[in-house]
């Protein structure tokens, strides 16, 4: 049985950093999941023989069932599942189409749960799950309302799952980064450079997340700045937090 890592969104900023780190673990094959075939073959060229590109759209039923089928046929020993693929944009809720809203929920929430559901039967003691949530899960965030709510879902689901899987010796970590310098973030709006307070690198987030997952932590928060945000969200009234947040982003929406 091949020791396997499944990493979704493997071609993106944070995903590539997880791929780099998974290569150094006792893993035979890395299923690198993404939609873009060109980016996937580049990833294989860059990171070598262990990479198995899996091209599919995780916001679709078809894409999800492809992963389920692959697991059933290959029956690997899944050591690592990193649900990293995610999407989200800034804007008023009413500016998004129903299709955009549904796709965001399907990718950010449904795919995370289903991939856990498909992969857990192929996991044993010592296997690890990392689900990428966000610091935006610490409070409600107007103008990224769906994204933020989807990450609350991921954090809550992951921590409950961690509790349930403990007796099997499988860990599950909700990774809650603040702003990360990747292509996901729009860098300029209306000719204005967008400032992302406390922005960090994908490398730093992935390194911390892998360390926390190895220790069996159910949550990974990278950087003092984000830990402070987390504490503040517990101490301050959520309405006040929302006002501060909305004031900070009003120039960019
Ligand atoms: N950047 C931040 O500030 C930040 C902060 C907190 C949390 N996060 C979270 O970190 C994770 C990684 O984000 P990132 O910043 O690295 O973004 P990114 O660079 O835009 O990467 C996103 C990845 O997801 C894949 N993807 C997108 N839609 C997909 C779909 N429908 N099916 C399959 N794969 C899909 C993309 O590949 P294809 O386009 O080829 O499909 C890409 O590999 C996300 O869950 C995000 O919410 C990001």
Cβ 132 under 6 angstroms from ligand 1: yes
- Is residue 11 in contact with ligand 1, taking CB distance under 6 Å? yes
Per DSSP, the three-state class of 155 is: helix
* Residue of 86, 114, 157 best suited for mutating to test ligand 1, as the one with most atoms within 8 Å of CB: 86
Digitized pLDDT (tens) for each residue of the chain, 253 residues in all: 999 999 999 999 999 999 999 999 999 999 999 999 999 999 999 998 999 999 999 999 999 999 999 999 999 999 999 999 999 999 999 999 999 999 999 999 999 999 999 999 999 999 999 999 999 999 999 999 999 999 999 999 999 999 999 999 999 999 999 999 999 999 888 788 888 999 999 999 999 999 999 999 999 999 999 999 999 999 999 999 999 999 988 877 8
Instruction: Give the pLDDT of residue 251.
Output: 78
Give the span between the Cα atoms of 186 and 188, in whole angstroms. Answer: 6
Could you give the strand order of the β-sheet that contains 29-34, starting from the edge strand earlier in sequence?
51-55, 29-34, 3-8, 77-83, 128-132, 171-175, 219-220
Atom 8 of ligand 1: nearest residue by CA position: 134
- Distance CA(50)–CA(72), nearest Å, equals 20
* Cβ of residue 185 lying under 6 Å from some atom of ligand 1: yes
pLDDT for the residue 42: 98
CB 79 within 8 A of CB 130: no
Per-residue pLDDT reduced to its tens digit, 193-217 = 888 999 999 999 999 999 999 999 9
Q: Are 83 and 150 in contact (CB under 8 A)?
A: no
**pLDDT at site 242:** 96
Strands 128-132 and 219-220: unpaired
Is residue 84 in contact with ligand 1, taking CB distance under 6 Å?
yes
Contact (Cβ atoms closer than 8 angstroms) between residue 49 and residue 119: no
Give SS3 for 219. strand
Asked whether 36 lines ligand 1 (CB < 6 A), one says yes
Identify the residue whose tokens are 């929302």: 242
CATH number of this structure's domain 3-252, picked from the four choices 3.40.50.150, 3.30.420.40, 3.30.70.20, 3.40.50.720: 3.40.50.720
Hey, is 16 helix, strand or coil? helix
53 lines ligand 1 (CB under 6 A): no
Angle between helical axes of 98-105 and 145-165 (0-180°, round to 10): 20
Cα–Cα nearest to 210, from 2, 27, 1, 11 = 27
What pLDDT shows up at residue 248?
87
Query: Is 204 close to ligand 1, i.e. is its CB under 6 Å away?
Result: no
Q: Where are the domains of the chain?
A: 3-252
Q: How far is the CA of 85 from the centre of ligand 1 (A)?
A: 4
Residue 210's alpha-carbon distances to 133, 167, 172, in angstroms, are: 14, 21, 11
Ligand 1 atom closest to residue 133's alpha carbon, by position in its atom list: 7
Dump pLDDT digits (tens) for 24-46.
Answer: 999 999 999 999 999 999 999 99
> Among 31, 56, 85, which residue has the most ligand 1 atoms within 8 Å of its CB, making it the best to mutate?
85
Say if pTM beats, i.e. exceeds, 0.85: yes
CA distance 222 to 158: 17
Ligand 1 contact via 12 beta carbon (within 6 Å) = yes
């Amino acid at each position: 049985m091949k020791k396997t890592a499944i990493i979704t969104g493997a071609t993106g900023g944070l995903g590539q950093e997880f791929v780099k780190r998974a290569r150094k673990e006792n893993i035979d094959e890395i299923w690198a999941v993404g939609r873009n075939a060109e980016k996937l073959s580049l990833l294989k060229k860059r990171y070598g023989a262990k990479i198995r590109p899996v091209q599919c759209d995780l916001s679709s039923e078809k894409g999800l069932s492809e992963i389920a089928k692959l697991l059933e046929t290959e029956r690997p020993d899944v050591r690592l599942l990193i649900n990293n693929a995610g999407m989200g944009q800034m804007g008023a809720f009413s500016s998004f189409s129903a299709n955009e809203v549904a796709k965001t929920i399907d990718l950010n929430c449904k795919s995370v749960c289903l991939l856990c559901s498909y992969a857990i039967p192929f996991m044993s003691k010592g296997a690890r799950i990392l689900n990428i949530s966000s610091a935006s899960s610490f409070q409600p965030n107007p103008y990224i309302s769906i994204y933020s709510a989807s990450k609350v879902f991921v954090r809550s689901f992951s921590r409950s799952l961690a509790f349930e899987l403990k007796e099997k010796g499988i860990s599950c970590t909700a990774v809650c980064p603040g702003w990360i310098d990747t292509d996901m973030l729009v860098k300029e709006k209306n000719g204005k450079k967008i400032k992302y307070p406390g922005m960090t690198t994908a490398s730093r987030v992935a390194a911390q997340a892998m360390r926390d997952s190895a220790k069996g932590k159910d949550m990974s928060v990278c950087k003092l700045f984000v830990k402070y945000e987390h504490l503040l969200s517990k101490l301050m009234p959520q309405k006040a937090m929302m006002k501060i947040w909305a004031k900070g982003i009003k120039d960019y929406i």
